[in-house]
Chain A
Amino acid sequence: MERVPVLKIGDILLVSIQIDMEDQVALQLQEDLADRIVGTGCHGVIIDISALDIVDSFVGRTLATIASISRVLDAETVVVGMRPAVAITLVELGLSLPGIRTALTVELGMALLARDRQFTLPDDDEDDADEAVVTAS
């Protein structure tokens, strides 16, 4: 069975789905991501679906489940790169993906997560100082 790789970039886990996933592959991704969130302590997950030419109810539900699991594990999920035709089809199918945050590109998704939680790269101390100020006030 194929597997979707999960990459760690700073404080973010990046998943780019490049294959037409079997249902089992989607479920495996759900487990892998939960493990990696706990293992790395990352607070953000970006799922890039720009390569997917369809999102059916199963994949849609999997994305929603991943977002919920992540939230319980103290991580925020952003789904990025949805194609226009996929968005039109999803809504007509009846799935509006409630509870899922979206951004148009990986870059905008990272900006969204950073704004939310003042993400810090490993060697970036400046933001830590800012956080301390925020906490103190």
Chain B
Amino acid sequence: MTTGDDIAAMERLAIRSDQDVVRVRQLVRTLAVSVKLSLVDQTKLVTAASELARNTLVYGGGGTVDAGRVDNGRRSGIRIVFTDQGPGIADLDLALTDGYTTGGGLGLGLSGARRLVDEFDIDTVVGQGTTISVIKWCR
């Protein structure tokens, strides 16, 4: 997160089931519309959120998501933070490689989500968990 970003109240949801992944998509969609992201950017952000929420569930063993509006003085955007207390990611470079997966998926979740947002920060400690923060700015 860039210093000086003004963050409005974040909404929090738990991610414990498939249904919660759907709720995350709905929350992010509502927020994306509220800051008037373009249709393509809304679609990209909701898709990224869906990938990351599923990762939190499948690889992190569940966790939470916090999402809200962010302003940096020039632009508005949406910031979403995914947090889990799962096993963490041992080899981050590998995990961010297209096609790499440990879970039987396509291996596009993390790498693909990163391409769909403007800012992507990942903080992971093996044995303690992973926090991923993304921002999509209005053009």
Determine chain A's interface SS by DSSP, over half rule. Answer: helix
* A residues in contact with B116, CB < 8 Å: 89, 92-93
Q: Given the known A-B contacts A22-B21, A93-B108, are A53 and B115 also in contact in the complex, defined by CB atoms under 8 Å? A: no
Interface residue stretch chosen among A9-17, A35-43, A54-62, A108-116: A54-62
**A-B contact number at CB 8 A:** 73
A22–B21 Cα gap in the complex (Å)? 8
Q: Given the known A-B contacts A23-B21, A23-B54, A94-B111, are A89 and B43 also in contact in the complex, defined by CB atoms under 8 Å? A: yes
Contact B112 A93 (CB under 8 A): yes
B116 to chain A, nearest CB (A): 6
* B residues in contact with A85, CB < 8 Å: 39-40, 42-43
Q: Given the known A-B contacts A23-B18, A23-B21, A56-B47, are A93 and B105 also in contact in the complex, defined by CB atoms under 8 Å? A: no
B51 to chain A, nearest CB (A): 6
Count chain A residues whose beta carbon lies closer than 8 angstroms to a beta carbon of B. Answer: 23
Q: Mark A62-97, 1 if CB is under 8 A from B, else 0.
A: 000000000000000000000111101100111100
A106–B44 Cα gap in the complex (Å)? 25
Can you name the residue of chain B whose Cβ is closest to the Cβ of A59? B50
Residue with the greatest number of chain B CB neighbours at <10 A, chosen from A20, A21, A54: A54
* A residues in contact with B98, CB < 8 Å: 94
Can you name the residue of chain A whose Cβ is closest to the Cβ of B25? A20
Contact B19 A22 (CB under 8 A): yes
- Please name 8 further chain A to chain B contacts, defined as beta carbons within 8 Å, in addition to the given A55-B47, A56-B50, sorted by A numbering: A53-B29, A57-B51, A57-B108, A61-B105, A85-B40, A93-B47, A93-B108, A94-B98
Q: Which residues of A contact B (CB under 8 A)?
A: 20-24, 53-58, 60-61, 83-86, 88-89, 92-95
